[in-house]
Structure 1
């Protein structure tokens, strides 16, 4: 009985001791303070919204062109005698560029002059012949009148029986022959007048050929018509060229223009400005300062991507060459009540965040263009908030309305 009771009490005693130890350890454990969760604060830069009247700037990319590129062709077939310039060289007005061999120019001139003198002599001869034919016609006409008078006299004598029929027939025969002679002399006068007209036409033709030969002689000694830059030289000394072959190309330094593609979104405002004669300028940043390029005109044809606009290249940029690419900023028509903000403040295309009570508040805005600030492009927005509002300009990937921030005023 004792052994049976012992087997029951020992396990109960172990359980009781274990429970007592657990209760003791639970009652004596240290108490932990409740963990408090603090909201994270994001550091952002901010700026004060200032309403201004500003002109939006549109970045354009264009290519330099010349509106007076001259391709000088050979006036005659001949040999190039001298080439006095090289490609890319700047030349002054009146400076010799190249020349064609003198015999190739003077021989056609001598031939044209000979043809002209021959035509003059032929015309003079035809005029002398015309004078002789005119006198012959006058003489034969007088003889015709005498023959007509003789016929009338014979008729009167026949009426009085003082002349025979044979004498009247002879007078009529002489009259008919003289009429034929008069017709022939008149035809000679008319034919000679046509020959004079032909000779005058031939003289005019040979005179034009002579003038062309004289012009070719001048063109064969090519000189710069104005201050220019040589774009390309296609021949060298000793080259044989055909008439009409391009020998050299050059352009005036003051003829440089910039052709840039104008987006369709700006076409209406730019067209209206040109019609109203409102000056519009683009700006090009050089190493030292900003240069202005005046808008001249729009192209006559458009494409789906926009219309080409032409800008005058100022003389200070005359070192530019046709074909060079340029980045310019077109200054548009001024906008009232707009705010300039850095692009870091813009989310998407039409949203920014104001800071109100240390929290971000989303606002939808209308981006109307860009403006240059300290050499950088800022967005130009039409706001729906009041002037003096604080704008967050630090771009946060997790930005949302209600996000707690700590601002650093810029």
Structure 2
């Protein structure tokens, strides 16, 4: 039987034997079909990385900077740092003695105007009845037209008084609403559920309108704002998966956050705030916003991260 040129005898020497074994390995049946172990290893390989960017953990819309709605002295400070607050909760009250006094006077005037209006309105039914009777009597010849005219004029006068009283009551009502709105400006309320991060006011301090009072962290899902270098912008798209790690952490817990998904990619270039090239000058980047696939543990707003984008 003819032997293959690759099948050498042992007498050919050790060098030839070694070469033959190497070549025969290439002809082994294992080469024709991958082993289950190699298939599993291939499937377990991570997706290819297409770009890396620096970023920061943030919340959509950012932190809430609250300012004093009016000028005045802080009468009550009802929160402290680290406290959770709900939407509409009163955080601070300014001294409003003068505003309260003005409101009390206006409320009294409103009550007086409403009482006057009610009294004027109560006269109308009797005057209408009187006019009807005079009109009926005049038709039967039991009364002259002068009595009818006088009854009609009395009704018109009473109706005019009702209209004036109604206008006065409306003015008084609007005045009370205006003063109540001004009084509400002496209160600062939480615009949404949040956590108090920092306070810059205290009880007894004098504030101007617009003076900073507190910084709140809204209870919204955390996001990542990544600065993608202009060299990698073409490789980034919405829906792409990414891995988020603490920036500069090269230890065993390098990827300590859940995976993330690209929510949107800005259509505008801008200067980098997290990276710079001392040799080439300012770096142009495009902001990419990512959402975590699961709520991250121990992540903090403002934390520097490194984002690895994968196909």
Tell me how far 1:59 sits from its aligned partner.
0.7
2:241 is aligned, of 258, 280, 284, to: 280
Question: Does residue 74 of structure 1 match 2:68?
Answer: yes
Counterpart pick for 1:187 among 152, 156, 169 = 156
Corresponding residue for 1:265?
234
Q: Per-residue CA shift, 1:295-337, capped at 9, x if unaligned?
A: 36216x511577533224644243343xx543211233xxxxx
2:54 to 61, 74, 77: 61
Distance in 2, matches of 1:116 and 1:97, equals: 24
Structure 2 gap ranges (5+): 1-37, 270-283
Gaps in structure 1 of 5+ consecutive residues: 1-49, 154-170, 274-278, 333-410
* Residues 1:140 and 2:131 aligned together: yes
1:136 CA drift (Å): 1.9
The verdict on how the C-alpha distance between 1:83 and 1:60 changes in structure 2, with shifts beyond 3 A counting, is same
- Structure-to-structure mapping, 1:294-305, within 5 angstroms: 294-295=260-261, 297-298=263-264, 302-304=267-269
* Native 8 Å contact 2:194 2:216 kept in 1: no
How many residue pairs get aligned? The number is 242
The answer as to whether partners of 2:242 and 2:309 remain within 8 angstroms in 1 is yes
Pair 214,128 (structure 1): closer, same or farther in 2 beyond 3 Å: same
Alpha carbon RMSD of aligned pairs, Å? Answer: 4.1
SS at match of 1:318: coil
1:92-142 deviation digits (Å, cap 9, x = unpaired)? 447x997445xx235423432442242133112112112213322331332
The aligned residue for residue 300 of structure 2 is 319
User: How far apart, CA to CA, are the structure 2 residues paired with 1:216 and 1:136?
Assistant: 47
Which position in structure 1 is the counterpart of 2:177?
Answer: 208
Residue 240 (1) aligns with residue 240 (2) = no
Report the equivalent of 1:90.
82
Following superposition, which runs of at least 4 residues in structure 1 exceed 6 angstroms of deviation?
82-86, 222-225
Q: Using structure 2 for the length normalisation, give the TM-score.
A: 0.59
SS of the residue 2:289 aligns to: strand
8 Å CA contact 1:282–1:292 kept in 2: the answer is yes
* Greater fraction of residues in strand: 1
CA contact (8 A) 2:224 2:290 kept: yes
Rg comparison, structure with higher value = 1
Distance 1:65 1:80 in 2: 31
1:81/1:114 Cα in 2 relative to 1: closer, same or farther (>3 Å)? closer
Which of residues 167, 182, 185 in structure 2 aligns to 1:198?
167
TM, length-normalised to structure 1: 0.47
Match of 2:107 in 1: 116
CA distance in 2, matches of 1:241, 1:331: 51
Distance verdict in 2 for CA 1:144–1:93, change over 3 Å: closer
Alignment of 1:326-405 (within 5 A): 326-332=305-311
* Cα deviations by residue, 1:257-281 (Å, 9 ceiling, x for unpaired): 32224554135xx33x3xxxxx834
Q: Say whether the 8 Å CA contact 1:281–1:295 is kept in structure 2.
A: yes
Write the distance in 1 (CA, Å) between the matches of 2:97 and 2:134: 56
